[in-house]
Amino acid sequence: MSAKKKDKSSAETMVKKEREVSKAKLIPVHIMGKRYDVPEGLTLMKAMEYAGYKFIRGCGCRGGTCGACGTVYRKPGDYRLQVALACQKTIEPDMHITQIPFFPANRAHYEFADLTSAPEEVFKLYPELFRCVACNACTKACPQGIEVMDAVSALKQGNITVAAQIGFECIQCGLCTSRCFGELVQYHMFQLARRIYGARITPRAEHLIEMTKAIDEGRFDNTLEKLRHMSEEELKELYRKREEEPVTAGEDWRPKDKTYL
């Protein structure tokens, strides 16, 4: 038997084994219009991989947080297009699935240092904001369940804070934008709103500024120097004897040794 043949047959055995082991019932799904029978219980992403697709894009964390695997699907008998992250949603019989891992959306270029907290900053960079007619297709297309249109409304009302807060859990999958017939770019606008909110609207943490200044001025230099010259044993000992903050500690918890506070 040639090496090649051997490879092929061993691969076949593997697949066979996998199917036997899983013993799962096969259900039909339609991936980009073609039918495949795949074991039930798989995620959309696993089902696509089972059917032979190999992801070099459109797949990231596999944990529902990176936004790379935005997918649209339709269930039989339902006129509504539905959305999911392929790594999160489980397949259902006769689903039609297509991934939209990337959407070529307009993205404004700006020098963030030049931006203020004025609502007009968003208006100028994304003037298409005012093409919104409140159709709400964006909200329906959000796999995160964000009230996308409400955040768009907040931007139109000049309320960057509310837009940043509503859009906080946006994972930039771009499905909202893919469905918007006003051709707004909700997810990039929200990112801008979050940046402006974080850098220009939320109050500065004064104590942090003071502390970093103190560090710059050498407050911990001696301590660090001491650590650098300790032996491995001494360091281990120090680590073993460290005082840990209890998980249940309240805000007023303080360590017994206050040397470094």
Partner 1 sequence: MRLAYYPGCTLKTKARNLEEPAIASLEALGFELEEIPRWNCCGAVHSLADDDLIHQVAPVRNLIRVKEQGKDAVVTLCSFCFNTLKRANLLMKDDAEKRDTLNSFMDEEIDYSGEVRVLHLLEVLRDEIGWEALAQEVKFPLRNLKLAPYYGCTLLRPREVAIDSVENPTILREFLKALGATPVEFPESTRCCGSYQIVSSPDSISGYAWDILSSALSHGAEALVLTCPLCDYDLGQGQKELVKRHNGFKGMPLFYFTQLLALALGLDPQVCHFELNHGSPESLLRENGLLP
Q: Which of 74, 130, 120, 123 is nearest to 98 (CA)?
A: 74
Among 82, 136, 161, 172, binds partner 1 (CB under 8 A): 136
For the chain, the residue count is: 261
β-sheet bridge partners, residue 82: 73
Q: Does 150 bind partner 1 (CB under 8 A)?
A: yes
Looking at the chain, list the stretches that DSSP marks H as alpha helix, in order from N- to C-terminal side: 3-22, 44-50, 119-125, 137-140, 148-156, 160-166, 175-179, 186-196, 206-216, 221-228, 232-240
Least distance to partner 1, CB of residue 152, Å: 8
Least distance to partner 1, CB of residue 241, Å: 55
Among the residue ranges 21-29, 151-159, 191-199, 209-217, the one whose residues contact partner 1 (CB under 8 A): 151-159
Q: Which is nearer to partner 1, 45 or 196 (CB)?
A: 196
HSE-up of residue 78 (Cα within 13 Å, Cβ side): 10
Among the residue ranges 149-157, 216-224, 227-235, 237-245, the one whose residues contact partner 1 (CB under 8 A): 149-157
Least distance to partner 1, CB of residue 157, Å: 4
Q: Does 49 bind partner 1 (CB under 8 A)?
A: no
Report the SS3 class of residue 30.
Answer: strand
Q: Does 164 bind partner 1 (CB under 8 A)?
A: no
Max Cα distance, the chain (Å): 74
HSE-up of residue 28 (Cα within 13 Å, Cβ side): 7
Q: Does 58 bind partner 1 (CB under 8 A)?
A: no
Q: Does 161 bind partner 1 (CB under 8 A)?
A: no
What token pair was written down for 242? 């460290």
Q: Which is nearer to partner 1, 66 or 125 (CB)?
A: 125
Q: Does 167 bind partner 1 (CB under 8 A)?
A: no
Q: Does 72 bind partner 1 (CB under 8 A)?
A: no
HSE-up of residue 99 (Cα within 13 Å, Cβ side): 24
- Exposed/middle/buried for residue 240 (C-beta within 10 Å: 0-12, 13-18, 19+): exposed
Among 65, 82, 88, 159, binds partner 1 (CB under 8 A): 159
Q: Does 133 bind partner 1 (CB under 8 A)?
A: yes
Least distance to partner 1, CB of residue 147, Å: 7
What token pair was written down for 136? 């709400």
Q: Which of 174, 139, 158, 168 is nearest to 67 (CA)?
A: 174
Least distance to partner 1, CB of residue 79, Å: 9
Q: Does 249 bind partner 1 (CB under 8 A)?
A: no
Among 132, 148, 160, 193, binds partner 1 (CB under 8 A): 132
In the complex, which residues of this chain contact partner 1 (CB under 8 A)?
Answer: 80, 119, 132-136, 139-140, 147, 149-150, 152-153, 156-159
